Amino acid sequence: MRPQSLAVILASVLALLALPATADTSKPTPSAKELIAQSKPNEWRTPDPNNLLYMQLPQGRVVIELAPDFTPLHAANIRTLVREHYFDGLAIIRVQDNFVTQWGDPNDDDSGDKSKIKPLGHAKRTLPPEYTRAIDPKLPWTSLPDGDVYAPQVGFTEGFPAGRDPATGREWLLHCYGMVGVARDVAPDSGNGSSLYTVIGQAPRQIDRNLAIAGRVIEGMQYLSALPRGTGPLGFYTQAAQRVPILSVKLAADLPPAQREQLQVLRTDSATFAALVDAKRNRHDTFYTLPAGKVGVCNIDVPVRTQPASSGAR
């Protein structure tokens, strides 16, 4: 390959083209970067600081947006745990390849010292499952008409991938890459947010509706996905030295505004998001000559950016 070949390949890999199904495929259309550059300030939202967790690892900061419209009791319990510094000093305890990275109390494990299990403080020990919720017509819903293997309907709501079943009237968040779920014991009410996991491989959609989803990693995913895989059963780290310490988890709302990340998430009910989805669906350029024509719900990235200095969007 010629020296420039890799750059060309890579530019093409990101080149998402906004072509309607009947588009003129003879000319490439703007890339994702270009579509985002053309977006309007009001297409972006600044997440509520009451829903933003900052998890500080030695490698860097992970930012998680909670999803209280889907898992309100879990969001409240996690906020309580965070405010009582429950997570500070705990660790990443499990990294299973092509599945999940999980964090929590290392002593809350077979090999742990039960006498040292960290108390949950004022947080609840059990919570109603919150795996699904009644479809709420007041919540935004951006339908993805491309179909899905697992759910009757899929789409996006408030920045999160979601599924719906009109037959049951229920909706739920999906286990796509970067989504954050609530580990639990066998009993459905045994999850309380003290141990969380995020998806680091192919979306394990078969576990949808069997676990509560607390939110999504919107920044720093690479600090969770690139960790050495655990060599114990199911990817647990077998030695304390392998675990990545959690220096602290804080709620953005508890920090002075000047110390908060200036992150914005593209609204999933915006025109630019629709253009990005269609671009991915019908991508066609000098490199990719055969557009897929369809796009999977977990193949769609919801863009996050640092708020431009000139932006007035809230």
Contacting a copy of itself within 137-156 (CB under 8 A)? 146-150
The one among 24, 110, 258, 309 contacting a copy of itself by CB under 8 A: 110
Quick one: which segment of 44-52, 65-73, 74-82, 205-213 binds a copy of itself (CB under 8 A)?
A: 205-213
Q: Which is nearer to a copy of itself, 89 or 201 (CB)?
A: 201
**In contact, 135 and 169? CB cutoff 8 Å:** yes
**In contact, 39 and 302? CB cutoff 8 Å:** no
Q: Which is nearer to a copy of itself, 11 or 253 (CB)?
A: 11
Binding mask 79-108 for a copy of itself (x = CB under 8 A): --------------xxx-xxx----x--xx
Q: Least distance (Å) from a copy of itself to the CB of residue 34?
A: 15
Query: Is residue 274 within the footprint of a copy of itself (CB under 8 A)?
Result: no
Site for a copy of itself in 212-241 (CB under 8 A): 221-222, 225-229, 233-234, 236
Q: Least distance (Å) from a copy of itself to the CB of residue 10?
A: 4
**In contact, 285 and 129? CB cutoff 8 Å:** no
Q: Least distance (Å) from a copy of itself to the CB of residue 313?
A: 26
With b meaning 16 or more CB within 10 Å and e meaning fewer, what string describes 200-231?
A: beebbbeebbebbbbbbbbbbbebbbebeebe
Distances (CA, A) of 212 to 60, 68, 160: 26, 11, 14
Q: Least distance (Å) from a copy of itself to the CB of residue 193?
A: 10
The one among 12, 46, 248, 307 contacting a copy of itself by CB under 8 A: 12
Query: Is residue 292 within the footprint of a copy of itself (CB under 8 A)?
Result: yes
Burial (Cβ within 10 Å: 0-12, 13-18, ≥19) of residue 286: exposed
The one among 30, 112, 128, 140 contacting a copy of itself by CB under 8 A: 112
Site for a copy of itself in 172-191 (CB under 8 A): 176-178, 183-186, 188, 190
Burial (Cβ within 10 Å: 0-12, 13-18, ≥19) of residue 237: buried
Q: Which is nearer to a copy of itself, 153 or 192 (CB)?
A: 192
The one among 76, 117, 251, 255 contacting a copy of itself by CB under 8 A: 117
The one among 11, 23, 73, 135 contacting a copy of itself by CB under 8 A: 11
Do β-strands 179-182 and 213-219 pair in parallel, antiparallel, or remain unpaired? antiparallel
Q: Least distance (Å) from a copy of itself to the CB of residue 87?
A: 14
Q: Least distance (Å) from a copy of itself to the CB of residue 213?
A: 14
Phi and psi angles of residue 37, each rounded to the nearest 5 degrees, phi first: -60, -30
